[in-house]
């Protein structure tokens, strides 16, 4: 058996996968709490992740009806960009600042200016610094909590931290490191020059984790932890990676032609490339994959987080919200929503706020408001898709849709119509956790001298749910082309600097 772990914003999920059938035998999830404030603060205590993992592992093993002694390997997926700064004893000097934390917007702007603006950042890193990345969080800690900053001896990402807890090793891999803001995504190495700008007092050779390849192990589960969790003492822990990189493996997007779209708390679009992809506007991040190669990616900040915000405000259950949105026509009665409740990354508007344009006493109904926020989140993803695709390509070849929003038939059809592309959901809803388990089996196999490829494992393990297949509706796709242009007009009226 192999364990896949996905430490996300809202919970830590664990899946148990059979090595023979490559099927998921048991799953579990344990929720996290979030410290947040209206100044953009979004933080968590890393100890929560450990506790949630241990609980979820026990529950998943119980659900699978298997013993922990059958586990051969484990892979960890984690929310990207989070800052986990540790002292000499391996204890956090400050709570982890998360990907969705925008408190460091001022520090990010200063760092970007020091790098020579977006063009300078692209030249030095292959990506444009974003407020969500790790770099500005370190600069923020240096400015606002200097005593904590001065205690730093190691800087890890969330998935690195869980690997450290499991193995005692301070390592990372190129996929997750791509989102730090001090990693050259073309040469796949730390940028000492940029890190010195971020943290001039810290020695990158000492505080940054060792880089390993995606197929290499982070290490083995420590004996005392293995004993406490009921695991063998030879459980290998693979390199793991960021949640998007693991979701690429878990959806089979590790070769050209497949675009994965996630309707999660945030929204992501990504597809595999065998070479770096540097876009002129810098909106598509030239991240590395966790399978070798690259994973050009776009992330928007407001998807199910936005619909949940409005659903809660309306006092609706999830089914009531979906029913209400379904009763409204495309266009939501001429209401256009910019759902920027958490600022926005694509386009780069960290201090943006949400708004509803065109609302009047004649169209301000719960159904129109529900549909407007769902359409606004989808148009945001369409904006990201336009940034990701080559100018001559109007639609992706094939979309694999994942995330909580993908459970809605209405939203699946809306994405298909707005993107003008056929899509289907994988059978496993836990794409990142499945990807982590598959990477663990790939890693263990390579250690044993096996010749099986990750592509072969994905080809067998990633099964599609044909009941979710959605094909663009010609009339609705034409209507959504018009509505998307209206969305862009409203967006640029409110934020004139948006390209």
pLDDT band at 279 (very low <50, low <70, confident <90, very high): confident
pLDDT in tens, 452-470: 899 999 999 999 999 999 9
Classified by CATH at the fold level, domain 2-244 comes out as Nucleotidyltransferase; domain 5 (3.30.420)
What residue segments make up the domains of the chain, in order of their start?
2-244, 249-426+463-499
Q: What is the mean pLDDT of residues 100-119?
A: 95
CA dihedral 198, 77, 34, 110 (to 10 degrees): 20
How many CA atoms are closer than 13 Å to the CA of 460, on its beta-carbon side? 14
Give percent of the chain above pLDDT 70. 99
pLDDT in tens, 303-340: 999 999 999 999 999 999 999 999 999 999 999 999 99
Q: What is the mean pLDDT of residues 220-239?
A: 97
Question: Which pLDDT value is given to residue 429?
Answer: 85
Across 253-340, where does the E strand assignment appear? 259-263, 267-271, 285-288, 294-300, 336-338
pLDDT band at 173 (very low <50, low <70, confident <90, very high): very high
pLDDT in tens, 195-214: 999 999 999 999 999 999 99
**Which residues participate in catalysis according to the annotation?**
243
Say if residue 188's pLDDT is above 60: yes
Question: Which pLDDT value is given to residue 363?
Answer: 97
Say if residue 393's pLDDT is above 70: no
Listed range (127-131, 160-164, 194-198) with the worst mean pLDDT: 127-131
Across 179-319, where does the E strand assignment appear? 183-184, 189-190, 210-212, 217-220, 236-238, 241-242, 259-263, 267-271, 285-288, 294-300
Q: What is the mean pLDDT of residues 135-158?
A: 98
pLDDT band at 394 (very low <50, low <70, confident <90, very high): low
Across the chain, mean pLDDT equals 95
Question: Which pLDDT value is given to residue 387?
Answer: 84
**Which DSSP string corresponds to 43-70?**
EE-HHHHHHHHHHHHHHHHHHHT--GGG
Say if residue 11's pLDDT is above 70: yes
Say if residue 30's pLDDT is above 70: yes
pLDDT in tens, 344-363: 989 989 889 999 999 999 99
Question: Which pLDDT value is given to residue 390?
Answer: 63
Structure tokens at 393: 């390509």
Q: How far apart are CA 295 and CA 311, in angstroms?
A: 33
Say if residue 392's pLDDT is above 70: no
- Same fold yes or no, 2-244 and 249-426+463-499: yes
| Residue 135 vs residue 255, higher pLDDT | 135
Across 303-415, where does the E strand assignment appear? 336-338, 355-357, 399-402
Helix axis angle for 46-64 and 158-167, nearest 10°, is: 70
Say if residue 103's pLDDT is above 60: yes
Strand partners, 286: 296
Q: How far apart are CA 51 and CA 162, in angstroms?
A: 11
Q: What is the mean pLDDT of residues 473-488?
A: 97
Q: How far apart are CA 489 and CA 479, in angstroms?
A: 16
Listed range (81-85, 267-271, 312-316) with the worst mean pLDDT: 267-271
Question: Which pLDDT value is given to residue 174?
Answer: 97
pLDDT band at 282 (very low <50, low <70, confident <90, very high): confident
> Which residues have a Cβ under 8 Å from the Cβ of 122 and sit 6 or more positions away?
128, 278, 282
Cα–chain center distance at 418:
22
Which CATH code fits 249-426+463-499? 3.30.420.40
């Amino acid at each position: 058996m192999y364990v896949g772990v996905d430490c996300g914003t809202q919970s830590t999920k664990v899946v148990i996968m059979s090595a023979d059938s490559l099927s998921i035998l048991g799953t579990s999830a344990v929720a996290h709490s979030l410290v947040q404030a209206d100044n953009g603060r979004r933080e968590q205590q890393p100890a929560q992740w450990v506790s949630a993992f241990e609980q979820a592992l026990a529950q998943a093993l119980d659900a699978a009806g298997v013993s922990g002694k059958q586990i051969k390997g484990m892979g960890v997926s984690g929310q990207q960009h989070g800052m986990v700064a540790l002292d000499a004893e391996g204890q956090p000097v400050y709570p982890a600042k998360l990907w969705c934390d925008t408190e460091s917007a001022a520090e990010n702007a200063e760092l970007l200016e020091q790098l020579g603006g977006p063009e300078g950042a692209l030249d030095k890193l292959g990506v444009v610094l974003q407020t969500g990345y790790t770099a500005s969080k370190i600069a923020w800690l240096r400015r606002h909590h200097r005593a904590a900053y001065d205690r730093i001896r190691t800087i890890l990402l969330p998935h690195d931290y869980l690997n450290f807890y499991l193995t005692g090793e301070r390592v990372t891999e190129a996929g997750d490191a791509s989102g730090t803001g001090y990693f050259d995504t073309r040469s796949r190495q730390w940028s000492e020059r940029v890190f010195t700008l971020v943290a001039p007092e810290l020695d990158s050779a000492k505080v940054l984790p060792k880089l390993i390849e995606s197929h290499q192990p982070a290490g083995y589960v420590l004996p005392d932890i293995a004993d406490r969790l009921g695991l063998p003492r030879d459980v290998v822990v693979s390199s793991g990676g960021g949640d998007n990189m693991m979701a690429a493996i878990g959806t089979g997007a590790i070769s050209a032609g497949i675009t994965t779209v996630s309707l999660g708390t945030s929204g992501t679009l990504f597809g595999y490339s065998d070479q770096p992809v540097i876009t002129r506007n810098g909106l598509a991040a030239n991240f590395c994959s966790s399978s070798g190669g690259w994973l050009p990616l776009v992330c928007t900040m407001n998807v199910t987080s936005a619909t949940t915000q409005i659903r809660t405000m309306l006092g609706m259950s999830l089914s009531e919200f979906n029913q209400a949105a379904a009763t409204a026509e495309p266009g939501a009665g001429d209401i256009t929503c910019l759902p920027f409740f958490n600022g926005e990354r694509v386009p780069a508007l960290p201090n943006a706020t949400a708004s509803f344009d065109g609302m009047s006493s004649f169209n301000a109904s719960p159904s129109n408001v529900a549909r407007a926020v769902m359409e606004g989140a989808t148009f945001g993803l369409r904006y990201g898709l336009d940034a990701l695709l080559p100018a001559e390509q109007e639609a992706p070849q094939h979309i694999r849709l994942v995330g909580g929003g993908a459970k809605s038939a209405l939203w699946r059809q809306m994405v298909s119509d707005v993107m003008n592309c056929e899509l289907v959901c994988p059978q496993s809803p836990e794409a990142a956790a499945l990807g982590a388990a598959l990477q663990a089996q790939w890693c263990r196999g390579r250690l044993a001298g096996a010749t099986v490829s990750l592509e072969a494992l994905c080809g067998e393990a990633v099964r599609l749910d044909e009941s979710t297949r959605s094909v663009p509706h010609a009339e609705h796709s034409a209507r959504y082309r018009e509505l998307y242009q209206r969305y862009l007009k409203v967006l640029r009226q409110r934020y004139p600097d948006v390209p």
